[in-house]
Amino acid sequence: MGKALIIGCGGVASVAIHKCCQNSAAFSEIMIASRTKSKCDALKEKLAPTTATKIHTAQIDADDVPALTQLIKSFAPDVVLNLALPYQDLHIMDACLAAGANYVDTANYEPEDTAKFEYKWQWAYRERFEKAGLTALLGSGFDPGVTGVFSAYALKHQFDEINYIDILDCNAGDHGYPFATNFNPEINIREVSANGSYWEEGHWVETKPMEIKRVYNFPEIGPKDMYLLHHEELESLGLNIPGIKRIRFFMTFGESYLTHLRCLEDVGMTSIEPIDFEGKKIVPLQFLKAVLPDPASLGPRTKGKTNIGCIFRGKKDGKDKTYYLYNVCDHQECYKEVGSQAVSYTTGVPAMIGAMLIMNGTWKGPGVKNIEEFDPDPFMNALNKWGLPWQESFHPELVD
C-alpha cells in the first residue's frame, strides 16, 4: 500500500494511471498533477468509479521547483513518477530532493535548446540522492526500461558473459494517417532526425541519420525495414553489462514516414532554432507538433502489433550462446483495455511497475540508478502479470 504522485497526463501517463488503478492493492492513493488540470480531472472522473485507488488531482508547472516541492511535501508520496517531458527531469529531481521523495522516470534529461540526450546531467545527482537516502530510478519505460531489465535478466539467468546486444524496436501499427508520430512528436522527431550511433569496444561509433538499414523478420509480424539509431540505454548498458563488446539499437520505419520526414527536414520544419514569424519567435518543430495528429488520438485508429526486444550473444559454460527476449503487443487490445495505443501502453505499464517496486521497497538505492542495476526478477514477473508478457527464443535470426 503506498502513495504515488504522477506528473504529466499525456499518452504514457494515462496508461500508467489506468494500471495504478487496476493495481489498487499497491497504489492506495495517487495524485495526478500536470500542466493542464482539466485532463487530470477527466481521467479521474473516468477511473474513480472503477477502482479502490483514491485519486487526487492538481495543477502544476513542474519547472516551478518551489511550487512542486510544496506539492510533494503536502501530498507526501512514497514515489514521484515523472511522466512529463524529458525537459522537466532535473527540476523534478530537484523538487524530490527538497521534499524528500523517491523519483522514477522513463526518459533521460534533454536540454530544450540542444537536441542531445545524455545521462551525465542526471548521474551528477548521485551523491545528493545517496546522502538524502533517496532512490532515483532512471528509464522505467520500455526502451529504455524493459530492455535494461531484459539485459539484467539474461545476464543473471542465461549467460556468464554477454558480448553483443541488439535492441530491436518494431512498430507495425497502421494508424491510417500519411504521417503521425506515436508519442510526443517533438521528442520523437528530435530523436530520429539526429545522427545515429552505437557502442563498440568502449567508445561510440557515429553514423549519419538512417545510414544503417537492415531487414528483420520479426516474430508475429514478419519482415520490416529497420534503421540504426542512437538510444539512451546504450550509454548505461555499455557501463553496466560487464564484458560487452557492442550494443546497437534499431527501430522500424515505413517508407511513407521516412519520405515525409525527409521532406519536412528539407523545408526546415524539424528545426529547433527559433525563427521570426509575424513579429513573434516560433520554433518550427513546435509549430509542426501543433499541426500533427495528437498521439493520444491514434488509439482508436491503430491496428497491428509492436514487437520490442533484445538479442543477446555471449558465453555460457565456455560455449557461444544466443538468446532473444521480446514482447509482442497488439494496438487494438491495448485500446480496448485502457483507451491507448501500444506505444503508450508499452511505456506506461513498465512505468507503473518501476514506481511500484520503488514504492514498496523491493528496489532500494539509495542513489541514482539505471534500471539494469536492480534485480530483474520481480520486474519480469510483474510484466507477465500486468499486460506485457515476454517470450524467449534460443535460436533467433541474427542481425548482421
Q: Which residues bind ligand NDP (CB under 6 A)?
A: 7-13, 34-36, 39, 60-63, 83-86, 88, 106-107, 141-145, 183-184, 187, 295, 347
At its nearest, how many Å lie between ligand NDP and the CB of residue 89? 8
Gap between the Cα atoms of 83 and 186, Å rounded: 15
Closer to ligand NDP by Cβ: residue 61 or 130 = 61
At its nearest, how many Å lie between ligand NDP and the CB of residue 229? 13
At its nearest, how many Å lie between ligand NDP and the CB of residue 35? 3
At its nearest, how many Å lie between ligand NDP and the CB of residue 63? 5
Closer to ligand NDP by Cβ: residue 7 or 97 = 7
**Nine-digit cell at 48?**
474513480
3-state secondary structure of 260: helix
Q: Among candidates 236, 52, 204, 158, which has minimal Cα distance to 396?
A: 158
Peptide bond between residue 144 and the one before it cis (omega within 30 degrees of 0): yes
Closer to ligand NDP by Cβ: residue 84 or 310 = 84
At its nearest, how many Å lie between ligand NDP and the CB of residue 351? 8
At its nearest, how many Å lie between ligand NDP and the CB of residue 118? 14
Task: List the end-to-end C-alpha distance of the chain, in Å, as a whole number.
Answer: 47
Q: Among candidates 288, 61, 296, which has minimal Cα distance to 175?
A: 296
Closer to ligand NDP by Cβ: residue 159 or 335 = 335
Q: Please report, for residues 24, 191, 304, 326, the alpha-carbon distance to residue 170 in angstroms, rounded to integers and kept in the order given.
A: 32, 16, 11, 11
Closer to ligand NDP by Cβ: residue 11 or 376 = 11
Closer to ligand NDP by Cβ: residue 10 or 284 = 10
Gap between the Cα atoms of 245 and 315, Å rounded: 12
**Nine-digit cell at 332?**
487494438
Gap between the Cα atoms of 100 and 103, Å rounded: 10
At its nearest, how many Å lie between ligand NDP and the CB of residue 309? 13
- 30, 56 in Cβ contact below 8 A? yes
Closer to ligand NDP by Cβ: residue 8 or 309 = 8
Grid look-up 527536414 returns 265
Question: Closest residue to ligand NDP, Cβ-based?
Answer: 10
